[in-house]
Amino acid sequence: MTRHSLSLLLRNEPGALARIVVLFSSRGVDVESLSLAPAERGDLSRLDVVVELQPGRTPAQLVKQLGRIVDVKNVVERTDDEALEQPA
């Protein structure tokens, strides 16, 4: 399994996080850590998540699938260095 850090901006709406968790569960994605906090815009939240992917799965596939969820406004894969540089 390979570890990847993702950062998402999603609408601050009931059920938004649940839809992301269902996607992870249905695709065999293990969540190692998860942090959810309000974004600068009050209608958005920032979700930082570290996931482990099954062999044969690529982070690009997961980013594309997450981007199809209506509540997700932006999703990017972060390197370990980028994740460390972001303010808490």
Quickly count: other Cβ atoms within 10 Å of residue 62's Cβ: 20
Q: Based on the number of CB atoms within 10 Å of its own CB, is 47 exposed (0-12), middle (13-18) or buried (19 or more)?
A: buried
Which CATH number does the domain housing residue 13 bear?
Answer: 3.30.70.260
Number of structural domains found in the chain: 1
Start-end of H helices in 31-86:
59-67, 80-85
- Stretch 45-74: mean pLDDT, rounded? 94
Q: pLDDT averaged over the chain?
A: 89
Provide the residue range defining the domain that includes 22.
2-85
Pairing of strands 30-38, 72-78: unpaired
Q: Is residue 41 very low, low, confident or very high in pLDDT (cuts 50, 70, 90)?
A: confident
Q: Is residue 1 very low, low, confident or very high in pLDDT (cuts 50, 70, 90)?
A: confident
